[in-house]
Amino acid sequence: MSESKAMILGVAGTELSADEKAFFRNECPWGFILFARNVAEPEQLRDLVAAMRDSVGRSEAPVFIDQEGGRVQRLRPPIAPNYPTAAELGALYARDREVGLRAAWLMSRLHAMDLASHGISADCLPVLDVPVAGAHDVIGDRAYGYDPQIVIELGRAACDGLMAGGVLPVMKHMPGHGRAFADSHKALPVVEASLDELRAHDFVPFKALRDVPMAMTAHIVFKAIDPERPATTSPRVIHDIIRGEIGFEGLLMSDDVSMNALSGDFSARAEAILAAGCDLVLHCHGIMPEMQAVAEKAPELSGKSLERARRALAFLKPADTMEETVARAEFAQCFEAVA
């Protein structure tokens, strides 16, 4: 694995082009990420995932996807059913804690069934952001609730469900996207809250789940920590807060390097992300010149980043023996039980 570069890349379409195959073979990204544009039907998806791994010559190369439920769900019917939002799980929890926790676990266990059957090994879930009143709805119903303790419990259940199904969780968006008053896909959000406020609210779920093997950063400026740079490119946020105060020792990937919250060309962005202390640069859109610019700056995974990458993959265990029909029936019953 040490020959892999410190990047996770997307692809343009439903199969690898000759150019993509050659590029991946030469540049060896550590992993890949899938989007709705890459999904046509089950056999095609399995073939694409296999081709991605084949292009880098590593059967264990992780393949990521954002499969949360609600708005953010890349696999849709008929490949996977539409799932409820995190907020709906939170509402269930509010009515009956045990049923809410079981539903969060089961939903992740079902995600794992949907993903693993196509060879997908990591889900960018759970969302551990804790919104505040009036924040931008880019997180909104993707959050489990407005109380950090609820987010901790449901987030932990979601992680456990994924891992029971042999899929790795990636918690996001560290150290917290809940206060953002702008969508970081489109603009750079600036959070004015004091460090004490952040410690009491935003950081809490990440600290509680700091043992999760992987996390994704937030493209947000926290004025109290680093007024100049978003978390993703801030050595202060990554070293002092994420690694130091939160105590996260797992594998840290950036949010998408293409998002408008970041400035500079793709080389500059990738360089800044890695210099700040992220282990991996994430590029989602499959646009070749952009990927080439990222690849120029991404070094071979080595040192602590390589250790973290190996440790993350070591969390992957064979799935339990849960029957899909049983899991789906129980999941549906959770919502009927407290309707």
Catalytically active residues, by annotation: 185, 255
Phi and psi for 65 in degrees, rounded to 5? -155, 155
Asked if 154 contacts 93 with a C-beta cutoff of 8 angstroms, the reply is yes
Angstrom distance (rounded) from CA 243 to CA 258: 24
Does residue 69 sit in helix, strand or coil? Answer: strand
Which residues pair with residue 5 across a beta bridge?
A: 29, 300
DSSP string, 15-45: S--HHHHHHHHHH-EEEEEE-GGG-SSHHHH
Angstrom distance (rounded) from CA 112 to CA 153: 19
Q: What counts of helices (H) and strands (E) characterise the chain? A: 12, 13
Asked if 54 contacts 61 with a C-beta cutoff of 8 angstroms, the reply is no
Phi and psi for 190 in degrees, rounded to 5? -120, 125
b/e map 38-66, b = 16+ CB within 10 Å? bbeeeeebeebbebbbebbebeebbbbbb
Angstrom distance (rounded) from CA 190 to CA 222: 6
Angstrom distance (rounded) from CA 323 to CA 333: 15
